[in-house]
């Protein structure tokens, strides 16, 4: 079944769109990470996606590319939803920031950086947001030890 959104995106970003699929009306495009910021700007300015609902990531260790960035967009004018996914390799875990487009991306990206260690180029203030200063590593990475603790105060017993 053809989809207006996915077809438009594929026509505009022929080389960058790696795959598309739709499940019960949930449309997803997998896109190269180099094209993410441009595609997001296209969605916002041309297709009316005015709301970045969510931006998160997943770790598919030992798959390569290891990470996947997931962005959910919504258009309040058209009641469209669209999901963009970007494979992100471990040795180059950096993506262009979406904060210039949606201010709401700021904390989402800080959270992804905190939990997965993916960096965002052009982010105005890329610090940890959930874990504390001095925390080492990124706890939602699959290779973060399950029982590892990093107490800020010495624990008794």
Partner 1 sequence: MGLETALGHSFLTTRLDAAVNWGRKYSFFQYPFVTACCGMEYMSTFASVYDISRFGAEYPRFSPRQADVLFVVGTVNEKLAPVLKRVYDQMCEPKWVVSFGVCATSGGFYDNYATVQGIDKIIPVDIYIPGCPPRPEAVLDALIKLQQKVAKESVLDRKYR
- For partner 1, the binding residues (CB under 8 A) are 130-132, 139, 144, 148-153, 155-157
**Residue placing its CB nearer to partner 1 in the complex, 72 or 141:** 141
Closest contact distance (angstroms) between CB of 134 and partner 1 is 10
Cα dihedral across residues 41, 43, 49, 55: positive or negative: negative
Residues in the chain: 157
Alpha helices by DSSP H, listed for 85-149, are 105-116
C-beta separation of 75 from 99 below 8 A: no
Preceding omega of 49 cis (within 30 degrees of 0) = no
**Shortest Cβ 155–partner 1 spacing (Å):** 4
Q: Which is nearer to partner 1, 25 or 145 (CB)?
A: 145
Output 23 or 132, the one with its CB closest to partner 1: 132
Nearest approach in angstroms of CB 114 to partner 1 is 11
Q: Which of 77, 22, 13 is nearest to 47 (CA)?
A: 77
Q: Among residues 91 and 157, whose Cβ is nearest to partner 1?
A: 157
In the complex, what is the shortest distance from the CB of residue 153 to partner 1, in angstroms, rounded to a whole number? 5
Pair of tokens at residue 97: 């920031």
């Amino acid at each position: 079944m053809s989809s207006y959104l996915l077809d438009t995106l594929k026509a505009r970003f022929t080389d960058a769109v790696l795959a598309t699929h739709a499940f019960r009306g949930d449309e997803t495009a997998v896109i190269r990470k180099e094209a993410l910021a441009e595609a997001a700007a296209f969605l916002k300015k041309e297709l009316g996606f005015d709301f970045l609902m969510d931006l998160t990531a997943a770790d598919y260790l030992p798959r390569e590319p290891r990470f996947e960035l997931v962005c959910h967009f919504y258009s309040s004018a058209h009641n469209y939803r669209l999901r963009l996914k970007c494979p992100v390799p471990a040795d180059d875990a950096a993506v262009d920031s979406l904060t210039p487009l949606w201010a709401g991306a700021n904390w989402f990206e800080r959270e992804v950086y905190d939990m997965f260690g993916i960096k965002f180029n052009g982010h105005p203030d890329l610090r940890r947001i959930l874990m504390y200063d001095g925390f080492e590593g990124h706890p939602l990475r699959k290779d973060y030890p399950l029982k590892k603790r990093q107490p800020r105060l010495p624990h008794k017993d």
